Chains A and B, each alone.
Chain A
């Protein structure tokens, strides 16, 4: 790093220290590097190394940091645990990394039927806290033991959960407290049980891709927990399985809370890692919910009625929780295991078809990378949240490709994802709309749609201080 830059690092760090105190700022090189990384394997370019990392503890400090950043024209990149999968936590230029991890308090107000929490709360911990009182958190990413809730709000993602079962997490968010890019602090929404009719400011931030403000608190309705009933169904191919899922909708079945898919090749890996006998084919495992045990079982049986019409190889009603946990684990271990054992880097995509073409899309996703110039010859796996009509093809990218090659491979996979999602008529349902996915947005909604978002961003953040690059699309 040249002298001008190191002088800038020092001056920015010293200003930040005045705002949050000595111990919550780091200007040390490795801290800056690692704080800019996400789950992607390729290393930073030198121009991506941040100036400083700051960990504020209060909204007032965030406000001061943003005011300072505007004055000095330095970008601010907000970061939780950086487990986002479409590249939106990775900076593409020098700037300040603002970690929200110290904002990690929560409070439950049962008499109001909501809880409030700060964005740095770990998703799994929040689920545990409200779970103890008999409530369910409608957010379930694979990274829940580590992901911070703020990021899930910005993406409005309930991850594994089936949208058509209980809705998206945003449907439960009653309001947020947010620091706007200019440093102003604003509260949105309501404390009442009724959602605002007409303009609801909350919607600018929940699923706002982090473009318009830094969320410092969110209020969420307490959703009573359910009773559960589980099953697994095996098919000789993913087409039949997908047709079974179509039937659930066409035959008006109660959608399960979670309903996962693994194609045969992928399931075999997971079953082997967990020491289970190999599955007879592609598998779906699902979790039906009800207000009583009997209600949940009745709903599971209704789902099974439809699934059975597509000639499954085997139907397994699961009564034993250990068996359910073991099957769930087979799904969870796949990407980590394959990365380690194959010596390659797992990269999944998210293809969202419409319901009508789900079987075609699922079949095509088994050959997701076919014909691609860079990734065409790589191994392809397929799983997904099939009940949500959501597919995750996964590719193993060689580690010995250099960083630029890996970047190009990732970009190619996102382009392919865009192409298939466009072809099959859906839109990304888990990982936000921009960053690596900008080209989908532009192709789907046209320049008009893209300009619309840009003009809102410009009105709220004229200096493009907050999370620049997300809207422009990373490369």
Chain B
């Protein structure tokens, strides 16, 4: 571990930057934790930061139970970054999410973090290359099954390295049965556009869950290995299905990734549509609203490409929810919370579903596997299957071919 990231530096950075917050509390007005809990003061951005500060300064008097409480507070954040944007617009600009993730690193160093289920997921990333404890050799089963249904030109890298575009499928679209259809839809579109594309023979997790959980070592091992492979295989252009993989590649990977063009698939589809390489023909005749995933929108400012893609589908009426773009409400699945049992009084995904139904949408479209899962659960849990469906943008475009 280099000096820049030593424990003392981490502590210094946290103590310094947290005390720059002047407590204006604007962050609480947009925090999804405040909205989905009873709103005790530790259930909001500034409260989490102050808890970290006391955790550092009062370390010596803390018992195991106190430390576990601190862990639960710090790991409850969805890292949606709504607070950061609010903080910046109020004039301050405290890097809140970075500080919370640094707090998690500190808890990991102290043997307190991450949460139990996250530990299991991270172990699985190390041994199997995915957080779902699924066999690494079955990662491409979805593709094999799909190729039995239709002829595919998809190449498998590095057996055949001669590809223009690498589809980085990601763990959720590879393994989760409800999301594999998104990968299939995207493959259908790539075939339709006759793109010379491929997938990795031995794709491994991008490492994002490790970073969210504060496990620096697992992340740096994973990212170094992935980046090395991309370079070795001569990859020039990657599209991802998950905004989380996308964000990690763009913002958190080693410098050598800068040479590779990285896009979320909605950006790629939007480009292709602009070039006229992809023209949806079939009328869908539905009312759709788009849910901005935090890691695509707030984190990377990709707001318009997904909307452009939706608007190019004939017959699709695109309506906006009250909170959209940078005001979008987190679905609750980010920040490592896919592996955390965070208590919610009102589920964020259900609040979001209500917002979609308020504008009479028949479809909530999104571009993130985790948002997709969370929202689909909300539809089922509230028995609204006959009124509204969750679709990925790739699915809708594929339906419109």
Task: Enumerate chain A interface residues (CB-CB to B < 8 A).
Answer: 1, 23-24, 26, 28-31, 33-35, 37-41, 43, 53, 55, 81-83, 99, 101-102, 142-143, 145-146, 273, 332-337, 339-340, 343, 345-346, 399
Residue from B54, B62, B69, B94 whose CB has the most chain A CB atoms within 10 Å: B54
Question: Contact between B29 and A146 (Cβ–Cβ < 8 Å)?
Answer: yes
Question: Contact between B54 and A346 (Cβ–Cβ < 8 Å)?
Answer: no
Say if the beta carbon of B91 comes within 8 Å of chain A.
Answer: yes
Say if the beta carbon of B33 comes within 8 Å of chain A.
Answer: no
Query: Nearest chain-B residue to A42 (Cβ)?
Result: B19
Task: List B256-311 residues whose CB lies under 8 Å from chain A.
Answer: none
Question: Contact between B54 and A336 (Cβ–Cβ < 8 Å)?
Answer: no
What residues of B have a CB within 8 angstroms of the CB of A29 in the complex? 62, 65-66, 69
Q: Mark B89-112, 1 if CB is under 8 A from A, else 0.
A: 011111000000000000000000
Task: List B1-50 residues whose CB lies under 8 Å from chain A.
Answer: 16, 19-26, 28-29, 38-42, 47, 50
Question: Contact between A340 and B54 (Cβ–Cβ < 8 Å)?
Answer: no
In the bound complex, CA of A28 to CA of B55 (Å): 13
Question: Contact between B29 and A145 (Cβ–Cβ < 8 Å)?
Answer: yes
5 inter-chain pairs at a CB distance below 8 angstroms, sorted by A residue, are A30-B51, A102-B38, A335-B24, A335-B91, A340-B92
Question: Contact between A143 and B92 (Cβ–Cβ < 8 Å)?
Answer: no
Query: Nearest chain-A residue to B50 (Cβ)?
Result: A34
Question: Contact between A339 and B50 (Cβ–Cβ < 8 Å)?
Answer: no
Say if the beta carbon of B53 comes within 8 Å of chain A.
Answer: yes
Given A34-B47, A273-B91, A334-B91, also A346-B22 (CB < 8 A): yes
Question: Contact between B19 and A399 (Cβ–Cβ < 8 Å)?
Answer: yes
What residues of B have a CB within 8 angstroms of the CB of A142 in the complex? 24
What residues of A have a CB within 8 angstroms of the CB of B94 in the complex? 340
Say if the beta carbon of B144 comes within 8 Å of chain A.
Answer: no
Question: Contact between B40 and A345 (Cβ–Cβ < 8 Å)?
Answer: no
Question: Contact between A30 and B22 (Cβ–Cβ < 8 Å)?
Answer: no
Query: Nearest chain-B residue to A97 (Cβ)?
Result: B41
What residues of B have a CB within 8 angstroms of the CB of A339 in the complex? 20-22, 92
Residue from B21, B47, B92 whose CB has the most chain A CB atoms within 10 Å: B92
In the bound complex, CA of A345 to CA of B20 (Å): 7
In the bound complex, CA of A334 to CA of B92 (Å): 9
Q: Mark B327-360, 1 if CB is under 8 A from A, else 0.
A: 0000000000000000000000000000000000
What residues of A have a CB within 8 angstroms of the CB of B91 in the complex? 273, 332-337, 340
Query: Nearest chain-B residue to A124 (Cβ)?
Result: B29
Question: Contact between A23 and B69 (Cβ–Cβ < 8 Å)?
Answer: no
Question: Contact between B50 and A37 (Cβ–Cβ < 8 Å)?
Answer: yes
Question: Contact between A30 and B26 (Cβ–Cβ < 8 Å)?
Answer: no
What residues of A have a CB within 8 angstroms of the CB of B66 in the complex? 28-30
Given A337-B91, A339-B22, also A146-B47 (CB < 8 A): no
What residues of A have a CB within 8 angstroms of the CB of B47 in the complex? 34
In the bound complex, CA of A343 to CA of B18 (Å): 10
Say if the beta carbon of B61 comes within 8 Å of chain A.
Answer: yes
In the bound complex, CA of A273 to CA of B62 (Å): 41
Query: Nearest chain-A residue to B51 (Cβ)?
Result: A30
Query: Nearest chain-A residue to B70 (Cβ)?
Result: A30
Q: Of B19, B23, B69, B73, which one neighbours A39 at CB under 8 angstroms?
A: B23
Say if the beta carbon of B201 comes within 8 Å of chain A.
Answer: no
In the bound complex, CA of A34 to CA of B21 (Å): 14
What residues of A have a CB within 8 angstroms of the CB of B229 in the complex? none
In the bound complex, CA of A250 to CA of B145 (Å): 86
Question: Contact between B51 and A336 (Cβ–Cβ < 8 Å)?
Answer: no
Given A29-B69, A336-B91, A336-B92, also A53-B40 (CB < 8 A): yes
Question: Contact between B40 and A340 (Cβ–Cβ < 8 Å)?
Answer: no
Minimum distance in angstroms from B343 CB to a CB of chain A: 9
Given A345-B19, A399-B19, also A337-B92 (CB < 8 A): yes
Query: Nearest chain-A residue to B66 (Cβ)?
Result: A29
What residues of B have a CB within 8 angstroms of the CB of A35 in the complex? 40-42
Residue from B24, B53, B57 whose CB has the most chain A CB atoms within 10 Å: B24
Minimum distance in angstroms from A82 CB to a CB of chain B: 8
Query: Nearest chain-B residue to A346 (Cβ)?
Result: B22
Question: Contact between B51 and A146 (Cβ–Cβ < 8 Å)?
Answer: no
Given A43-B54, A340-B93, also A31-B40 (CB < 8 A): yes
Q: Of B39, B61, B69, which one neighbours A1 at CB under 8 angstroms?
A: B61
Given A146-B25, A345-B19, also A34-B90 (CB < 8 A): no
Question: Contact between A345 and B22 (Cβ–Cβ < 8 Å)?
Answer: yes
Question: Contact between B22 and A34 (Cβ–Cβ < 8 Å)?
Answer: no
In the bound complex, CA of A31 to CA of B69 (Å): 9
Minimum distance in angstroms from B104 CB to a CB of chain A: 15
What residues of A have a CB within 8 angstroms of the CB of B16 in the complex? 343, 399
What residues of A have a CB within 8 angstroms of the CB of B23 in the complex? 37-41, 83
What residues of B have a CB within 8 angstroms of the CB of A143 in the complex? 24-25
What residues of A have a CB within 8 angstroms of the CB of B51 in the complex? 30, 33-34
Residue from B40, B51, B53, B61 whose CB has the most chain A CB atoms within 10 Å: B40
What residues of B have a CB within 8 angstroms of the CB of A55 in the complex? 38, 40
In the bound complex, CA of A35 to CA of B47 (Å): 8
Given A31-B40, A102-B38, also A332-B28 (CB < 8 A): no
What residues of A have a CB within 8 angstroms of the CB of B42 in the complex? 30-31, 34-35
In the bound complex, CA of A34 to CA of B40 (Å): 9
Question: Contact between A101 and B39 (Cβ–Cβ < 8 Å)?
Answer: yes
Question: Contact between A30 and B55 (Cβ–Cβ < 8 Å)?
Answer: yes
Question: Contact between B22 and A333 (Cβ–Cβ < 8 Å)?
Answer: no
In the bound complex, CA of A222 to CA of B11 (Å): 51
Question: Contact between A26 and B40 (Cβ–Cβ < 8 Å)?
Answer: yes
In the bound complex, CA of A35 to CA of B29 (Å): 17
What residues of B have a CB within 8 angstroms of the CB of A334 in the complex? 91
Question: Contact between A336 and B90 (Cβ–Cβ < 8 Å)?
Answer: yes
In the bound complex, CA of A101 to CA of B87 (Å): 23
What residues of A have a CB within 8 angstroms of the CB of B70 in the complex? 30
Query: Nearest chain-B residue to A146 (Cβ)?
Result: B25
Question: Contact between A145 and B26 (Cβ–Cβ < 8 Å)?
Answer: yes
Query: Nearest chain-B residue to A144 (Cβ)?
Result: B29
Minimum distance in angstroms from B113 CB to a CB of chain A: 14
Question: Contact between A30 and B20 (Cβ–Cβ < 8 Å)?
Answer: no
Minimum distance in angstroms from A164 CB to a CB of chain B: 28
Minimum distance in angstroms from B268 CB to a CB of chain A: 33
Question: Contact between B53 and A30 (Cβ–Cβ < 8 Å)?
Answer: no
Query: Nearest chain-B residue to A122 (Cβ)?
Result: B29
Question: Contact between B38 and A24 (Cβ–Cβ < 8 Å)?
Answer: yes
Minimum distance in angstroms from B67 CB to a CB of chain A: 10
In the bound complex, CA of A60 to CA of B35 (Å): 25
What residues of A have a CB within 8 angstroms of the CB of B55 in the complex? 30
Minimum distance in angstroms from B23 CB to a CB of chain A: 4
Question: Contact between A399 and B20 (Cβ–Cβ < 8 Å)?
Answer: yes
Task: List B230-271 residues whose CB lies under 8 Å from chain A.
Answer: none
In the bound complex, CA of A423 to CA of B47 (Å): 39
What residues of A have a CB within 8 angstroms of the CB of B50 in the complex? 33-34, 37
In the bound complex, CA of A233 to CA of B38 (Å): 46
Residue from A30, A146, A332 whose CB has the most chain B CB atoms within 10 Å: A30
Minimum distance in angstroms from B46 CB to a CB of chain A: 9
What residues of A have a CB within 8 angstroms of the CB of B87 in the complex? 336
Beyond the given A29-B66, A35-B42, please list 19 additional residue pairs across the A-B interface where CB-CB is below 8 A: A30-B69, A30-B73, A31-B42, A33-B51, A33-B54, A34-B42, A35-B41, A39-B25, A41-B22, A43-B57, A81-B25, A99-B40, A146-B29, A333-B90, A333-B91, A336-B24, A339-B22, A343-B20, A399-B19
Question: Contact between B28 and A336 (Cβ–Cβ < 8 Å)?
Answer: no
- Across the A-B interface, give the 6 residue pairs with the lowest CB-CB distance, nearest first: A333-B91, A39-B23, A337-B91, A336-B92, A336-B91, A339-B22
What residues of A have a CB within 8 angstroms of the CB of B62 in the complex? 29
Minimum distance in angstroms from A219 CB to a CB of chain B: 25
Minimum distance in angstroms from B200 CB to a CB of chain A: 42
